[in-house]
């Protein structure tokens, strides 16, 4: 039923914004994508201009979202090769911006604006002389009422919907437990960005690939990923993908940042309504912003399920999630540095499957220079991935008939 809603949402979005046919291309068919090579933002508190250099005429559409205020630009079939610091600093009314793939064949730019704005003009300028083609957006300050009206009008046309989800092949089946790895963020949501310019979305994908290979080598489990490339999924969709595969374990992989740059080490998070501590709450809040950062209208209401059977399932799932978190700490602790308080809990939206044991692992802090360096170090990645693979086989120990005594621990 939900997928019908999403399909309707996408259809609505495409009807409004001229990004239609390319949006249904598969990701690997976008080889001929138009390259965006540079971008600039300039202006003041009344007028701000955003310009992006593109190697050809781009089909695009814009809409605005509130809470927080954002301008979203959807582009058909564009790929990015922008300077490393692109989007970090804004100008005028744009405080920051981000870019990346949103759905197959559909790229997106999300501008965070510090007040209500209207898109006064948006147009493509063909190349002139040695000037490349440009996409230009002129933003003007507007009243709160006018902005809210524009947001409402857009939502009526289904802007702010989740990306179209690629079809999964259905439940994996077979005797082996199914592990779904979830590299956090992706596409238009880069996640945390290290001082050295490392994107969380890239390090966690590299790590998940390594872990997948390690787990497959054991022959003990089936492994699937929520994403295999630099693509975006909403938090709800990550859970939906895990369910689609019939997951027995869901492992979301992240590498966050903290305001205090001395904070270091890996942490395992499980779901709880009340956070174990203030820092855990802050990290969950940051991770839960993924949908907002990608220009999706967050839909908290769909999270709340109060059915009594679901409550019971949730209790059992919670026990297993805790068991696995402890396995991770045991194994990972022998291989890499853990945070001084390594098992914590908070209200992570991505951990809300009531029927699948789920943990979120923060491999380290990109806000710490040492952690950032380790997270991109192959030797560190090997060690951490080996250890996590060990934690998974330990967790499923009784279900895996391999006879290795150390695996049969419960």
Nearer to Zn ion, 137 or 258 (CB): 258
Nearer to Zn ion, 158 or 254 (CB): 254
Answer whether 371's CB lies under 8 Å from 266's CB.
Answer: no
Residues 6+ positions from 308 with CB-CB distance below 8 Å: none
| Torsion angle of the four alpha carbons 239, 241, 246, 250, in this order, in degrees rounded to the nearest 10 | -50
Taking CB atoms, the residue at the shortest distance from Zn ion is 254
| Gap between the Cα atoms of 16 and 18, Å rounded | 7
Kindly determine how many residues on this chain lie close enough to bind Zn ion according to the rule CB under 5 A: 4
Minimum CB separation from Zn ion for residue 373, in Å? 18
Nearer to Zn ion, 79 or 288 (CB): 288
Minimum CB separation from Zn ion for residue 38, in Å? 27
> Is the sign of the CA dihedral 250, 233, 208, 276 positive or negative?
negative
Task: Work out whether strand 70-76 and strand 60-65 pair parallel, antiparallel, or are unpaired.
Answer: antiparallel
Q: Is 357 in the site for Zn ion (CB under 5 A)?
A: no
| Span near Zn ion by CB under 5 A; candidates 31-39, 45-53, 89-97, 181-189 | 181-189
Nearer to Zn ion, 101 or 142 (CB): 101
Q: Is 87 in the site for Zn ion (CB under 5 A)?
A: no
293: three-class secondary structure by DSSP: helix
Minimum CB separation from Zn ion for residue 287, in Å? 5
Measured in residues, the chain has a length of: 410
Nearer to Zn ion, 240 or 287 (CB): 287
Minimum CB separation from Zn ion for residue 104, in Å? 23
Minimum CB separation from Zn ion for residue 283, in Å? 8
Nearer to Zn ion, 71 or 293 (CB): 293
| Gap between the Cα atoms of 203 and 134, Å rounded | 31
| Span near Zn ion by CB under 5 A; candidates 173-181, 225-233, 287-295, 388-396 | 287-295
| Gap between the Cα atoms of 104 and 212, Å rounded | 23
Answer whether 133's CB lies under 8 Å from 57's CB.
Answer: yes
Site string for Zn ion, 244-263 (x = CB under 5 A): ----------x---------
Strands of 246-315 (E only): list them: 249-254, 266-271
Tokens 């600093």: give the residue: 89
- Farthest CA pair distance, the chain: 72
Minimum CB separation from Zn ion for residue 258, in Å? 12
For residue 121 the two structure tokens come to 């003009």
Minimum CB separation from Zn ion for residue 294, in Å? 13
Q: Is 184 in the site for Zn ion (CB under 5 A)?
A: yes
| Gap between the Cα atoms of 68 and 73, Å rounded | 16
Q: Is 342 in the site for Zn ion (CB under 5 A)?
A: no
Q: Is 191 in the site for Zn ion (CB under 5 A)?
A: yes
Residues of this chain that interact with Zn ion (CB under 5 A) are 184, 191, 254, 287
């Amino acid at each position: 039923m939900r997928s019908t809603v999403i399909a309707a949402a996408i259809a609505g979005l495409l009807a409004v914004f001229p990004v239609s046919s390319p949006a249904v291309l598969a990701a690997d068919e976008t080889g001929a994508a138009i390259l965006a090579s540079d971008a600039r933002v300039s202006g003041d508190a009344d007028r701000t201009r955003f310009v992006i250099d593109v190697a050809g005429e781009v089909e695009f559409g814009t809409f605005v979202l509130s809470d927080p205020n954002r301008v979203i630009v959807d582009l058909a079939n564009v790929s990015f090769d922008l300077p490393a610091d692109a989007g970090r600093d804004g100008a005028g009314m744009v405080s920051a911006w981000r870019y990346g793939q949103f759905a197959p064949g559909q790229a997106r730019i999300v501008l965070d604006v510090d007040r209500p704005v209207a898109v006064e003009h948006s147009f493509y300028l063909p190349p002139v002389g040695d000037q490349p083609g440009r996409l230009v957006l002129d933003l003007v300050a507007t009243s709160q009422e006018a902005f809210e009206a524009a947001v409402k009008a857009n939502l009526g046309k289904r802007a702010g919907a989740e990306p179209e989800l690629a079809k999964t092949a259905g439940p994996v089946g077979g005797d082996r437990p199914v592990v779904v790895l979830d590299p956090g963020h992706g596409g238009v949501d880069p996640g945390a960005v290290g001082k050295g310019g490392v994107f969380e979305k890239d390090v966690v994908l590299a790590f998940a690939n390594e872990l997948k290979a390690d787990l497959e080598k054991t022959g003990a489990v089936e492994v699937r990923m929520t994403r295999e490339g630099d693509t975006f999924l909403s938090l709800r969709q990550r859970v939906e993908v895990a369910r689609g595969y019939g997951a027995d374990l869901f492992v979301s992989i992240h590498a966050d940042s903290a305001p205090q740059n001395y904070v270091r080490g890996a942490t395992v998070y499980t779901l709880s309504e009340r956070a174990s501590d203030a820092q855990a709450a802050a990290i969950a809040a940051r991770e839960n912003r993924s949908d907002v950062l990608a220009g999706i209208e967050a839909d908290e209401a769909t999270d709340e399920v109060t059915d009594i059977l679901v409550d019971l399932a949730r209790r059992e799932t919670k026990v297993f999630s805790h068991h696995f978190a402890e396995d991770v700490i045991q194994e990972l602790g022998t291989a890499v540095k853990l945070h001084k308080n390594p098992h914590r809990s908070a209200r992570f939206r991505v951990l809300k499957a009531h029927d699948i044991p789920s943990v979120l692992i923060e491999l380290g802090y990109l806000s710490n220079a040492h952690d950032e360096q380790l997270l991109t170090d192959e030797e560190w990645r090997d060690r951490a991935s080996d250890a996590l693979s060990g934690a998974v086989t330990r967790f499923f120990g009784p279900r895996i008939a391999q006879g290795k005594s150390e695996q049969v621990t419960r």
